[in-house]
């Protein structure tokens, strides 16, 4: 909807700020939290035991939050696919938003998207969607809804990864990526040199990261969803070729060709960033 400019700027402003305030309030009282233990953003993996206990026993109220909102502090909004709406974001809130854009090799995103879309028709899946020919279609597939309804799970996942990456690049390119508003961090680099990446971000943003944040970033090198705590595939030599082979076997030739093109484009941009 944002890409098609069907939401007025004042409505976009309200929706975005309302989301920030709602998330800040929910976080302060422990409401609407992610309890999926193995997610990187899980409540249990982003907070220490002491912080969890403090929040569970907190007497924070709406009044407490309202009194803190005017304070000069940063509010963090973790949002997937946010940069697809970068044009609206920077036009409506040009002096109030800084985006840290985490980029990951599409090869290693495929499995995540497949797990996500496998539960797509579940009633508890609340991603913005619309109905097309009796099927539930996500907002990011609006431009290819007719194709979506005829695809297999693997093909949907591969095209979602490839096309969302393309939408993001195009949106940032149209907007000219204003200096100081978007900071791109490549996930593989964050895994290999977390201290250096955080130091660069600290200098750029003009604020220091807490020790808790630094510890959490250090933990990213291990995939804690596995009992053996395997290393992330970005850190394993030859992993990309293995993953690509699996994706090739699971998808149609036409879909894999488009997906592989997205992988190559990503690699080019990552190389230029170094």
Reported as a single tens digit per residue, the pLDDT across 180-208 is 788 889 999 999 998 899 999 888 888 88
Q: Output the pLDDT for position 106.
A: 96
pLDDT digits (tens, 9 = 90+) for 235-247: 899 999 999 999 9
| Cα separation, 103 vs 270, whole angstroms | 9
Q: What is the residue whose two structure tokens read 């899980």?
A: 42
pLDDT digits (tens, 9 = 90+) for 25-77: 666 665 666 666 656 666 666 666 666 666 666 665 555 555 555 554 555 55
pLDDT band at 165 (very low <50, low <70, confident <90, very high): very high
Give the SS3 label for residue 31. Answer: coil
pLDDT over 70, % of the chain: 72
Average pLDDT of the residues of the chain:
80
Q: Output the pLDDT for position 2.
A: 47
pLDDT digits (tens, 9 = 90+) for 143-152: 999 999 999 9
Please give the C-alpha separations between residue 116 and each of 90, 112, 113, 119, in angstroms, as whole numbers.
29, 6, 5, 6
Instruction: Tell me the β-bridge partners of 137.
Output: 130
Run of H or E residues at 16: helix 9-29
| Cα separation, 158 vs 163, whole angstroms | 9
What are the residues whose beta carbons fall under 8 Å from the beta carbon of 34, sequence distance 6 or more? Answer: 41, 42, 43
Question: Does pLDDT of 104 surpass 90?
Answer: yes
């Amino acid at each position: 909807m944002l890409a098609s400019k069907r939401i007025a700027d004042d409505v976009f402003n309200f929706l975005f700020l309302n989301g920030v305030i709602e998330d800040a309030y929910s976080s302060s009282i422990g409401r609407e939290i992610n309890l999926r233990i193995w997610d990187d953003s899980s409540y249990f993996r982003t907070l220490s035991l002491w912080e969890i206990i403090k929040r569970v026993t907190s007497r924070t109220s709406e009044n407490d939050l309202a009194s803190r909102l005017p304070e000069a502090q940063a509010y963090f909004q973790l949002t997937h696919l946010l940069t697809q709406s970068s044009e609206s974001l920077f036009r409506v809130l040009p002096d109030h938003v800084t985006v840290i854009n985490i980029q990951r090799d599409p090869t290693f995103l495929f499995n995540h998207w497949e797990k996500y879309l496998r539960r797509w028709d579940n009633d508890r899946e609340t991603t913005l969607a619309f109905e097309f020919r009796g099927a539930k279609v996500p907002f990011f597939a609006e431009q290819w809804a007719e194709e979506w309804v005829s695809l297999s799970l693997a093909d949907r996942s591969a095209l979602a990864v490839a096309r969302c990456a393309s939408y993001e690049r195009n949106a940032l390119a149209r907007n000219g990526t204003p200096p100081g508003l978007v900071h791109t961090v490549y996930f593989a680099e964050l895994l290999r040199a977390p201290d250096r990446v955080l130091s660069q971000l600290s200098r750029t943003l003009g604020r220091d990261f807490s020790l808790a944040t630094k510890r959490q970033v250090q933990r990213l090198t291990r995939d804690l969803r596995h009992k053996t705590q395997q290393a992330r595939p970005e850190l394993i030599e030859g992993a990309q070729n293995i993953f690509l082979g699996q994706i090739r076997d699971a998808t149609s030739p036409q879909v894999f060709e488009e997906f592989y093109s997205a992988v190559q484009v990503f690699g080019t941009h990552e190389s230029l960033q170094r």
